[in-house]
Amino acid sequence: MPVSPKQARTLKHRSWVAFLVVPPIVFMSLFVVYPILSAFAYAFYEWRGMARGEFVGLANFKEVLFGATMAPTVWNAFLHNVYALIALMIIQNGGGFLLAWLLYKEPFGFRFHRVAVFVPVVLSTIIVGFLWKLFLNPNFGIINQALYSLGLDSWAKPWLGDSSTALGALILANAWHFVGFPTLVYLAGMQRIPSEIIEAARLDGTSEWQLLKNIVWPLVAPSTTILFTLLFIGAFNWFEIPYVMVGLDGSPFGTTDVLGLVFYRTAFGNQSASIQNFGLGSALATLIFLFIVVFASTLTLWLRRREIQF
């Protein structure tokens, strides 16, 4: 049967679409979908080292969530992730919003500051963690030295060794590292607001606070959606800064333990303390993944609803 020119065009179009779509689908399936599904499958087996043993059903999940050995560690770590999320939401995203507002008003040297605020984001997390570890060293770290020279000896602490300050120190180091990102996103969001709106508000004599609260904040809602969602995901996948600064154990005595560290220790073992259990590790990874997917989607939907078109 002869092919009409129209049919030929459709065919050509279709093969183009296939050519463009198939490689990424194959790539995604191979390197994203398959690993996720296999981790999910691994979680249903008992493991001896890296060798798969018996099918054990939901036993691994049960041990992770309710077991006498594993569950207390997991819930303790989960709580720390929640703390980190709340604290970073306020310090990192809130701080980013205020910094963006300052930069938006283009004060003296704002071009320099815009770059300066973003520079730490570009640094490797390993370097940032190491740097802060040096700053926080109780005996020669810059922070305690500064406190001593100001005569505030009683404020000096072994920051990372004290159970009441260690987690806070990690959160601050993380905020210092990433505050440039929400700043940049909020700044872009603020610059999208039509200047007439802000000028009109100013003419009406609104205070700075009212302007921020009633006009800027609602109008940067799309930025808020993306930043809150990313922070949520980041906070529950938190690993690098704790790993570099306090080690795999969540030292001191589990007060800085987070789910990422528990997962790593469980799935791959901690050379200086414990052996690996790949089944429990996979079960924990699956649970973290499901938790993040469900809550991040709900959060996004909820945040989307408050976005305004203009």
Partner 1 sequence: MKLTRRILMGAAAGSFIFSAGAAMAQQTELTFWSWRQEDKAFYQDAIKKFQAKEPNISIKFETYAPENYQTILSTALAAGRGPDVIQVRAYGNLETIATPGYLLALDKTNVPELANFPEAALAAETLRADGKVYAVPFAMQTQLVVYNKKIFKDNGLNPPKTWDELMTLAQALKAKNITPFGNGTATAWQNETIVGGLLSSMLGQQFEADIVSGKANFTDARFVNALTKLKDVSQYFSPNFTGVDYPSSQQLFVAGRAAMFAGGSYEVANFKNQNPTLDLGVFPAPVLKAGDQALVATYYDGGYAVNAKSEKKDAALKFVRFLATPEYGTSFTNTLKNLSPIKGIKIEDAITQDVAKLTENAMSYLMLVRFRYNEPSGSVLLQSNVQKMLAGQQTPEQAAAEINKGIATYYKPFQK
**Residues at the contact surface with partner 1, assessed by CB under 8 A:** 48-51, 68-70, 133, 136-139, 157-163, 246-247, 249, 251-254, 268-277
Q: How far is the CB of 29 from partner 1 (least distance, A)?
A: 20
**Count of C-beta atoms within a 10 Å radius of residue 163:** 12
Specify the residue, 191 or 274, whose C-beta has the smaller distance to partner 1: 274
Q: CA-CA distance, 14 to 34, in Å (whole number)?
A: 27
Specify the residue, 113 or 157, whose C-beta has the smaller distance to partner 1: 157
Query: In this structure, what token pair is assigned to residue 178?
Result: 């990433």
Q: How far is the CB of 252 from partner 1 (least distance, A)?
A: 5
Is the separation of the CB atoms in 219 and 308 below 8 Å?
yes
Specify the residue, 100 or 160, whose C-beta has the smaller distance to partner 1: 160
Q: CA-CA distance, 300 to 227, in Å (whole number)?
A: 10
Specify the residue, 160 or 216, whose C-beta has the smaller distance to partner 1: 160
Q: What's the farthest any 2 CA atoms get from each other in the chain?
A: 94
Residue written as tokens 């996004």?
Answer: 300
Q: How far is the CB of 269 from partner 1 (least distance, A)?
A: 6
Q: CA-CA distance, 252 to 166, in Å (whole number)?
A: 8
Q: How far is the CB of 133 from partner 1 (least distance, A)?
A: 8
Specify the residue, 120 or 141, whose C-beta has the smaller distance to partner 1: 141
Q: How far is the CB of 162 from partner 1 (least distance, A)?
A: 6
Evaluated on CA atoms 160, 165, 166, 172, the torsion sign reads negative
Quick check: bond before 120 cis, omega within 30? no
